Amino acid sequence: EAGVTQFPSHSVIEKGQTVTLRCDPISGHDNLYWYRRVMGKEIKFLLHFVKESKQDESGMPNNRFLAERTGGTYSTLKVQPAELEDSGVYFCASSQVLRRTEAFFGQGTRLTVV
């Protein structure tokens, strides 16, 4: 069974550019989460989808971040325009709706804004 996959694994962009991160959850997992780890800090929650609906987006830092999950399958996280402080590792995790605490993580996307 395929795990949670994220694309790209690394991205280096200039300040002001746009970047879109993608997450493919484990098939059948309705819950999808985005997290971010800024260097030297702990992993922090960004938002939570249940199928295509945003259940909780209280962790989104500002309106430069837009997450979507059309059709309730894969999800994208767009940063536009990117700022230097957006650099970090973005993790995606998914879980079954009836076992919402059993979350499986992807390998992360390392974003560097220069």
Partner 1 sequence: KNQVEQSPQSLIILEGKNCTLQCNYTVSPFSNLRWYKQDTGRGPVSLTIMTFSENTKSNGRYTATLDADTKQSSLHITASQLSDSASYICVVTSSGGSYIPTFGRGTSLIVHP
Q: Which of 40, 37, 87, 83 is nearest to 63 (CA)?
A: 83
Residue from 60, 93, 111, 113 touching partner 1 (CB under 8 A): that is 93
Does the protein bind partner 1 through residue 108 (CB under 8 A)? yes
Residue from 1, 39, 41, 84 touching partner 1 (CB under 8 A): that is 41
Could you give the angle at the alpha carbon of 9 between the alpha carbons of 42 and 41, nearest 5°?
10
Does the protein bind partner 1 through residue 43 (CB under 8 A)? yes
- List 75's β-bridge partners, or say none: 23
Find the part of the chain contacting partner 1 (CB under 8 A) among 12-20, 54-62, 69-77, 80-88: 54-62
CA-CA distance, 58 to 55, in Å (whole number)? 9
Does the protein bind partner 1 through residue 53 (CB under 8 A)? no
Rg (CA), the chain: 13
Answer whether 27's CB lies under 8 Å from 5's CB.
Answer: no
CA-CA distance, 95 to 35, in Å (whole number)? 14
Residue from 58, 62, 63, 70 touching partner 1 (CB under 8 A): that is 58
Residues 61-90 that bind partner 1 (CB under 8 A): none
Does the protein bind partner 1 through residue 14 (CB under 8 A)? no
Residue ranges binding partner 1 (CB under 8 A): 4, 35, 41-45, 48, 55-56, 58-59, 91, 93, 100-108
